[in-house]
Amino acid sequence: MFDTLSDRLTSVLQNLRGKGRLSETDIDTTAREIRIALLEADVALPVVRAFIAKVKERAKGAEVSAALNPAQQVVKIVNDELVAILGGETRRLNLAKTPPTVIMLAGLQGAGKTTLAGKLARHLKTQGHAPLLVACDLQRPNAVTQLQVVAERAGVAVFAPEPGNGVGDPVDVARRGIDEARRSQHDIVVVDTAGRLGVDEELMRQAADIKAAVAADEVLFVVDAMIGQDAVTTAEAFRDGVGFTGVVLTKLDGDARGGAALSVREVTGVPIMFASNGEKLEDFDAFHPDRMASRILGMGDVLTLIEQAEQHFDQEQAEKAAAKIGTGELTLEDFLEQMLAVRKMGPIANLLGMLPGAGQMKDALAQVDEKHIDRLQAIIRGMTPAERQDPKMINASRRLRIANGSGVQVRDVNDLVNRFFEAKKVMQQMAGRFGM
């Protein structure tokens, strides 16, 4: 659903690539373009304003970072702020100290509450819980049957009013549902409630009454992401009329522009907890602000990569190595240090796998041989400091000793030493050409 926003933001940020420094004008232009992208994605105006203000302030005050170039810094700032408006940390369900935990679903008719009840039940069941679904939507003619159908698919139990007694009282059904859960040892109760086509007072009162009667631990406001800006007004009405502790976005598989997702949490201050993206029970997941943000920025997991680079980058060491390349003083000791610095960031295949487009090079990634790198490290470690400083002294008998000491063949040592000399030659030529 975020395709357009994602395309727009990606191209705005791409324009910054290759800039050595960002001027105030660069930042202002970028901020204006991001603003347009967000408004086109139907993000609520106050949210857009606050977002842009923060991005601008941080971009202008950005410290010179050793590991990131200016464009990467702006990407990081935009990403951080996206994560923040999406809620920051992933918010998990609060479970009651004494079971059953009561989760109530509220929202407009058609938002996807009944479907969600089934999805949530399935999800909880796979986590080892024994949920009970309680049918309190006694208004929509088929709601009870529909809940029974999804419950059966999810393989969980339902508590519903007996048919034939006319329209029952949903508050009473809710209470009896909780009693039933206690009796039959269900540790979580999911209460499905009635919705209306629009917000009205009676709907709010009924939901508030059920909430009070069952002492709900979580009230999840279920909202159809495809209703755009209306999601925000509906959320405000439910917040004031009923109150809720979490938001569930449904129909994220639709071609909506994504504004609802980016606005609801910021406007209500209540975190988004789950996202639904299809009609099947499996089309459902916990909502992770950080993953959603990288998806919007179309970044693969480059951001994790950037963060790891920031954490592990040792500027002094890198500059030392660069200077030595120029003067031809690079030693095997430096080579080892560089190799260790890169490895601190994690397995090489994982690092490569975080790059955008890595999905298409899965086979190549499987070929990355960590063992080969381990072997190189072992060989260098098997050398004396003098040998590392001046590899020219490594004669045949030294090669044999190093090979035995590091558990490899003599030809592996030869290989490393020869490649080192070759690499050094190439680097010196390049340094000469680029005036390092």
Quote the least distance from Cβ 146 to ligand GDP, whole Å: 6
Spell out the alpha helix ranges (H) of 184-276.
201-214, 230-241, 259-268
- Among the candidate windows 175-183, 197-205, 274-282, 354-362, which touches ligand GDP by CB under 6 A? 274-282
Q: Are 259 and 44 in contact (CB under 8 A)?
A: yes
* Dist. CA 123–CA 117, nearest whole Å: 10
For residue 211, the minimal CB distance to ligand GDP (Å) is 17
Alpha carbons 109 and 224: distance in angstroms, whole number: 10
CB of 257 to ligand GDP, least distance (A): 16
Q: Which residue has the tokens 């971009």?
A: 59
Question: Smallest distance, Å, CB 234 to ligand GDP?
Answer: 12
Are the CB atoms for 306 and 394 separated by under 8 Å? Answer: no
How many residues touch ligand GDP under the rule CB under 6 A: the total is 18
If the CB atoms of residues 113 and 211 are measured against ligand GDP, the closer one turns out to be: 113
- Distance of alpha carbon 269 from alpha carbon 302, whole angstroms: 28
Closer Cβ to ligand GDP, 88 or 254, answer by number = 254
Which residues are CB-neighbours of 385 under 8 A, at least 6 positions away? 333
Q: Which is nearer to ligand GDP, 231 or 416 (CB)?
A: 231
Alpha-carbon gap, residue 399 to 51, rounded angstroms:
61
269 in a known ligand binding site? no
Among 220, 224, 209, smallest CA distance to 245 is for 220
Residue among 106 and 416 whose Cβ is closer to ligand GDP: 106
Report residue 305 as tokens. 């990569």
Closer to ligand GDP by Cβ: residue 254 or 407: 254
- The verdict on 276 binding ligand GDP (CB under 6 A) reads yes
Which of 251, 257, 399, 424 touches ligand GDP (CB under 6 A)? 251
- Residue whose CB is less far from ligand GDP, 250 or 308: 250
Is 114 marked as binding a ligand? yes
Q: Render the burial of 75-85: b for 16+ CB within 10 Å, e for the rest.
A: bbbbbbbbbbb
Residue 138 corresponds to which tokens in the numbers above? Answer: 């006694």
Tell whether residue 105 is among the known ligand binding residues.
no
d(Cα 360, Cα 234) in Å, to the nearest integer? 41
Q: Can residue 250 be called a binding residue for ligand GDP (CB under 6 A)?
A: yes
Considering only residues 393-422, where is the footprint of ligand GDP by CB under 6 A? none
The distance of closest approach from Cβ of residue 260 to ligand GDP in the complex, given in angstroms and rounded to an integer, is 13
Whole-number Å distance between alpha carbons of 28 and 203: 46
Which tokens is 63 given?
């410290």
3-state secondary structure of 368: coil
- Residue type for 153, please? R
234 binds ligand GDP, rule: CB under 6 A: no
Residue placing its CB nearer to ligand GDP in the complex, 210 or 299: 210
Distance in angstroms (rounded) separating the CA atoms of residues 25 and 44: 26
Footprint of ligand GDP on residues 288-307 (CB under 6 A)? none
Among residues 195, 228, 353, 391, the one that binds ligand GDP under rule CB under 6 A: 195
Residue 148 touching ligand GDP (CB under 6 A): no
Which residue is it, tokens 């999905």? 359
| Residue 250 among known ligand-binding residues | yes
Binder among 65, 148, 277, 414 for ligand GDP (CB under 6 A): 277
261 part of the interface to ligand GDP, by CB under 6 A: no
CA-based nearest residue to 24, from 50, 57, 49: 57
Site string for ligand GDP, 92-121 (x = CB under 6 A): ---------------x-xxxxxxx------
Contact criterion met (CB below 8 Å) for 170 and 206: yes
Query: H or E stretch including 71?
Result: helix 70-85
278 is a contact residue toward ligand GDP (CB under 6 A) = yes
- Helix (H/G/I), strand (E/B), else coil: 409: coil
**194 known ligand binder:** yes
Residue number with CB closer to ligand GDP (242 or 403): 242
For tokens 């592990």, the residue is 312
Q: Which two tokens stand for residue 224?
A: 């159809």
Residues 173 and 163: their CA atoms lie apart, in Å, by: 12
Q: Does residue 214 belong to the site contacting ligand GDP (CB under 6 A)?
A: no
| Cα(257)–Cα(218) distance, integer angstroms | 28
* Cβ closest to ligand GDP, residue 221 vs residue 420: 221
- Out of 33, 180, 253, 307, the only residue in the binding site for ligand GDP (CB under 6 A) is 253
Binding mask 51-90 for ligand GDP (x = CB under 6 A): ----------------------------------------
When the beta carbons of 110 and 241 are compared against ligand GDP, the nearer one is: 110
Q: Residues interacting with ligand GDP, by CB under 6 A?
A: 107, 109-115, 195, 250-251, 253-254, 276-279, 283
Residues contributing to the annotated binding site for GTP: 107-114, 192-196, 250-253
